[in-house]
Homo-oligomer: A and B are copies of this chain.
């Protein structure tokens, strides 16, 4: 993309409404624009990151055999009455009457609707296990929306639902989700720690929240410092292997890690003092096992191997996709702006032309731009007629992980400058070498 043809409305002033750094940077870097309280438009670069995050979520869910689908945002109140949640949900549910006077709502989550789909179409245990998920916009009518997309009213969520014959099978689904979530967050450059949590309005017996440590997190968290040494990495897990998935759960949840909602001072005191940590965390996902709560209420049964109707065991599993943008920026920024992890960056590299209009420099930039695209990369070329300082400032603010600076002086010696946004370190290399290095960096990402 050429900057001259892009819509990147970078703000010069600091937006006054932003109380936390991710909100401020998302506004300043032109990623979002508030439409109403807690409701945002995603400008082209913000939308691009949102799409990258969604793609990572899809890829990791597909790896585990979970099936993507999509449920509508506007749902009938009747279905929510079957579970008892229409009355129980409270004012956070956006309630609507259509022109025929029918009571509808904007979905805050979709246990009822997915259970209705299940009971309409699945009748035998032979069709289990089944996990359906969607990435869809949700609405929760918060009293005090704040912190930008971190606590918005309209937000993008991945919500997945498993249907299993037995509690044991459902717990395997739970573990499988935990594994997919660990991989998902790591690919996004985040360390998200699974912590024992409270089930809230969804209800449930087993539940973990995934928290990213950040000063601006809304939850106080307590954990054994050993847990931050764990990484999932690129393990080749067989998602059908119950023991393998259970071992991952054990590895990542055996150490103390809880939010203030479930914190237990007595248990925490058993952790050696040097390893006890208190910090703040941002919730970026949650997994639940809730047994037959919805299947009992809504009659979601299958014929079991014994021929008898059996209520299915269910769980639901969520990732806050739009909120993740905020969490990633909270975890990856400095005084100059955002520092995107390579896995989620909107563009792979920025090209800064130090002397726009100079024929040789322009040609070198054009060639570099073409070579990067030919190599399958997606560069952003700052081809504006601006001074170098302004171009550097924009690149630092929007946080592309790599910058290639092209100027007449370097070109005389056949080099351009390749700079890491994270470390600030630069190397002078030939244009071809810069392309090769970036190809290597992004290989497999």
Question: Which residues on A are within 8 Å of B, measured CB to CB?
Answer: 5-7, 9, 30, 33, 35-36, 39-44, 46-48, 50-51, 65, 67-76, 79, 91-92, 94, 96, 98-99, 102, 104, 106, 113, 116-117, 120-122, 127, 130, 132, 134, 137, 139, 141, 143, 153-154
A47's contact among B41, B68, B73, B122, by CB below 8 Å, is which? B68
In the complex, chain B residues whose CB is within 8 Å of the CB of A130: 7
Q: Which residues of B contact A71 (CB under 8 A)?
A: 35, 41-42
How many identical chains are in the complex? 2
Query: Quick check: A73 and B70 within 8 Å, CB to CB?
Result: no
Pick from B5, B30, B104, B122: contact of A65, CB under 8 Å: B5
B6, B47, B75: the one within 8 Å of A36 (CB):
B75
Q: Using Cβ atoms and an 8 Å threshold, which residues of chain B touch A134?
A: 47
Contact at B67–A6, with CB atoms within 8 Å? Answer: yes
Is A35 within 8 A of B72, CB to CB?
yes
Q: Which of A98, A102, A117, A130 has the most CB of B within 10 A?
A: A98
Q: Judging by beta carbons under 8 Å apart, are B69 and A42 in contact?
A: yes
Complex-state Cα separation, A196 to B322, whole angstroms? 40
> Which of B48, B72, B94 contacts A154 (CB under 8 A)?
B72
In the complex, the answer to whether B35 meets A76 with C-beta atoms within 8 Å is: yes
Q: Is the CB of A47 within 8 A of B35?
A: no
User: Once bound together, how far apart are the Cα atoms of A205 and B340, in whole Å?
Assistant: 45
Q: Which residue of B lies closest to A114 (CB)?
A: B41
List 18 additional A-B contacts (Cβ < 8 Å) besides A42-B71, A50-B70, A99-B143: A7-B132, A35-B71, A35-B72, A36-B75, A36-B102, A36-B104, A39-B75, A40-B72, A41-B71, A41-B117, A47-B68, A47-B69, A47-B70, A73-B73, A91-B99, A92-B99, A94-B98, A137-B137
| Across-interface contacts of A35 in B (CB, < 8 A) | 71-72, 75-76, 79, 113, 116
Tell me which residues across on chain B come within 8 A of A73, comparing CB atoms. Answer: 73, 106, 137, 154
Q: Which of A69, A91, A104 has the most CB of B within 10 A?
A: A69
A74-B154 contact given A44-B132, A69-B47, A99-B91, CB 8 Å threshold: yes
Is A139 a contact of B43 with CB atoms below 8 Å?
no
Do residues A141 and B99 form an inter-chain contact, with CB atoms below 8 A? yes
Contact B74 A139 (CB under 8 A): yes
Minimal beta-carbon separation of A34 from chain B (angstroms): 10
List residues of chain B with CB within 8 A of the CB of A76: 35-36
Q: How far is the CB of A408 from chain B (nearest CB, A)?
A: 25
- The residues of B that contact A91 with a CB separation of less than 8 Å are 99
- Chain B residue nearest in CB terms to A41: B71
| Listed A/B pairs (30) with beta-carbon separation below 8 Å | A5-B65, A7-B132, A9-B121, A33-B117, A33-B120, A35-B72, A35-B75, A35-B113, A35-B116, A36-B72, A36-B74, A36-B75, A39-B75, A41-B117, A42-B71, A43-B69, A44-B68, A44-B69, A47-B69, A47-B134, A51-B68, A73-B73, A73-B106, A73-B137, A73-B154, A74-B106, A74-B139, A74-B154, A96-B96, A137-B137
Q: How far is the CA of A106 from the CA of B116 in the complex (A)?
A: 24
Residue of B nearest to A137 (CB): B73
The minimal Cβ–Cβ distance linking A42 to chain B, given in whole angstroms, is 4
Identify the closest chain B residue to A77 (Cβ): B36
Q: Are A9 and B137 in contact (CB under 8 A)?
A: no
List the 7 shortest-distance A-B pairs measured between CB atoms, nearest first: A9-B121, A42-B70, A36-B76, A44-B67, A39-B72, A91-B99, A41-B71
Name the B residues within 8 Å of A6 (CB-CB).
Answer: 67
Q: Which residues of the partner chain B approach A9 to less than 8 Å between Cβ atoms?
A: 120-122
**Which of B36, B41, B72, B106 makes the CB contact (< 8 A) with A41?**
B72
Q: How far is the CA of A105 from the CA of B346 in the complex (A)?
A: 31
Chain B residues, CB < 8 A from A72: 35-36, 39-41, 137, 154
Chain B contacts for A67, CB-based, 8 A: 6-7, 44
Q: Are A41 and B113 in contact (CB under 8 A)?
A: yes
Which B residue's beta carbon lies closest to that of A78? B36
Q: B residues within 8 A CB of A79?
A: 35
Tell me the complex Cα distance, A141–B67, Å.
Answer: 30
Which of chain B's residues has its CB closest to A92's CB? B99
Tell me which residues across on chain B come within 8 A of A44, comparing CB atoms.
67-69, 132
- Please name all residues of chain B whose beta carbon is closer than 8 Å to the beta carbon of A92 when the two chains form the complex: 99
